[in-house]
């Protein structure tokens, strides 16, 4: 996969994103013994409805990316410009609120390419750090983010419907793109 296989989503993608979000979230968490299945279902119903995705797509500070190959959408990311937790000290943080791949596309390098595209988008929007939260029991994701240069800087509580889960806050400082690179036509 190349970065060119990742595109910006628009309002016409709301149904695709709703399905992709629900499927990848379920596949990521439903088999973990530390999670409450009822809470997952409740969360998915509220967070991944077409209407909710349309609302998020309409927010000028929210950016969705879709990874696709041969018209098959297999991953996505959601970035929020200016989003911060108290522990985030940077002036222009960008949150990677979600980054997921369909299970058959995991561990094939696609996640790294999607993450790099997220960093490119953050830089292009003058972000000085990228942060995310990751469930404390999702060791594969934690290792992936650490390998990608993110550091644990704290925790927060994630409200998964009626359940309360502890997430690690991880952050990566990013260097600004120089004026020349930012405006180069290559």
pLDDT of 183 higher than 80: no
List, for residues 33-43, the tens digit of each pLDDT value.
888 899 899 99
pLDDT of 176 higher than 80: no
Fold of 3-182: Aminopeptidase (3.40.630)
Domain ranges of the chain: 3-182
Whole-prediction pTM value?
Answer: 0.89
pLDDT band at 2 (very low <50, low <70, confident <90, very high): low
User: In sequence order, which residues have a C-beta less than 8 Å from that of residue 58 and are 6 or more positions away?
Assistant: 11
What's the mean pLDDT in 166-181?
74
List, for residues 124-144, the tens digit of each pLDDT value.
999 999 999 999 999 999 999
Q: What is the DSSP string of 126-181?
A: T-SEEEEEEETT-HHHHHHHHHTT-EEEEEEEEEETTEEEEEEEEEEE-PPPPHHH
List, for residues 7-17, the tens digit of each pLDDT value.
999 999 999 99
């Amino acid at each position: 996969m190349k970065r060119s296989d990742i595109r910006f989503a628009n309002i016409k993608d709301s149904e695709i994103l709703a399905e992709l979000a629900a499927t990848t979230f379920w596949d990521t968490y439903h088999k973990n013994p530390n999670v409450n299945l009822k809470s997952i279902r409740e969360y998915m119903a509220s967070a991944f409805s077409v209407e909710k995705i349309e609302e998020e797509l309409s927010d000028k500070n929210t950016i969705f990316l879709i990874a696709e190959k041969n018209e098959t959408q297999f991953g996505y990311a959601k970035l929020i410009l200016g989003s911060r937790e108290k522990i985030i000290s940077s002036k222009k943080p960008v949150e990677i609120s979600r980054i997921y791949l369909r299970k058959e596309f995991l561990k094939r390098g696609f996640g790294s390419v999607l993450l790099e595209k997220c960093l490119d988008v953050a830089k292009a929007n003058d972000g000085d750090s990228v942060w995310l939260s990751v469930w404390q029991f999702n060791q594969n994701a934690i290792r992936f983010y650490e390998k990608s240069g993110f550091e644990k800087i704290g925790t927060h509580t994630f409200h998964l419907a009626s359940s309360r889960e502890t997430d690690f806050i991880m952050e990566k400082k990013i260097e600004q793109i120089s004026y020349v690179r930012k405006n180069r036509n290559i």
